[in-house]
Amino acid sequence: MKSNHPVCTRLRSQLRGLVPVALAAILSVSGLAAAEATTTLTLADAEHRISKNPSLAAYRQKILALRHQAIAAAQLPDPHLSLGAVDLPTNNFSMNQQQMSMLSVGLSQTFPPFGQLTLRGRQLRMEARAASASKAERAAELRWLLQQSWIQALVGHDEMRILVRQEQLARLTEQAATAAYRAGRADEADVLRSRLARVALENEKDQIRSEQTVALARFFDVSCG
């Protein structure tokens, strides 16, 4: 079950577009420019949203159900009320037609073996505590995944910024090598080397962009559920 929160919905839409922008802008509602953002999803906000993760919600429901069951299991079952009629004429159901006509009322209570109710209630309370421990463990795991994804996305942004600058320089180098080759001042190998260097940087950018997109997708899945 995915969250329908508008911030989460718009962020997922941006991820599908694979837009490589600055992390602060990616984490904003607009996702296009930080200056245009009016609402942002910070790491602290995302950690707070973890409590709404579907897996934790399922644990909460399980814990609540076990606690209610523990209370009910420690109590006696409901008494059984019975109502009957003896020698009641079926043609008019009159109690005065026959002297032997009578109604019977009975009340019975089942008593389980001694200690069974206490034992069952204790067992359910232990299951509730175990579910609470599993919920805390899952919350810690989600928080760790969130922080790791945030760091990976932030590092990817810094690497991308450096690579963009390096690619600009590589493109200028390739243009200079090409001009020198045409003027007879450089070999074709120089042009080829500069071109390969630029292509290698483009490939590295694509790899980092892919890793950053995966990290951000994981970040929003964990934080928005």
Structure confidence at residue 50 (pLDDT): 82
In terms of Cβ atoms closer than 10 Å to its own Cβ (0-12, 13-18, 19+), residue 96 is exposed
What is the Cα–Cα distance from 39 to 30, expressed in whole angstroms?
A: 8
143: its two tokens: 């928080």
User: What phi and psi, each to the nearest 5 degrees, are found at residue 17?
Assistant: -80, -10
Q: What is the pLDDT of residues 78-115, one digit of tens each?
A: 677 777 656 656 665 555 655 555 666 777 767 777 77
pTM (global) more than 0.75: no
Nearest to 162 by CA among 205, 211, 200, 214: 205
Structure confidence at residue 10 (pLDDT): 52
DSSP 11-47: HHHHHHHT----HHHHTBSSSS-GGG-SSB--HHHHH
Q: Which amino acid is at 194?
A: S
Q: What is the pLDDT of residues 107-161, one digit of tens each?
A: 776 777 777 788 888 898 999 999 999 999 999 999 898 888 888 888 888 899 9
Q: Which amino acid is at 36?
A: E
What is the Cα–Cα distance from 148 to 144, expressed in whole angstroms?
A: 6
* 8 A C-beta contact, residue 66 and residue 42: no
* 8 A C-beta contact, residue 159 and residue 208: yes
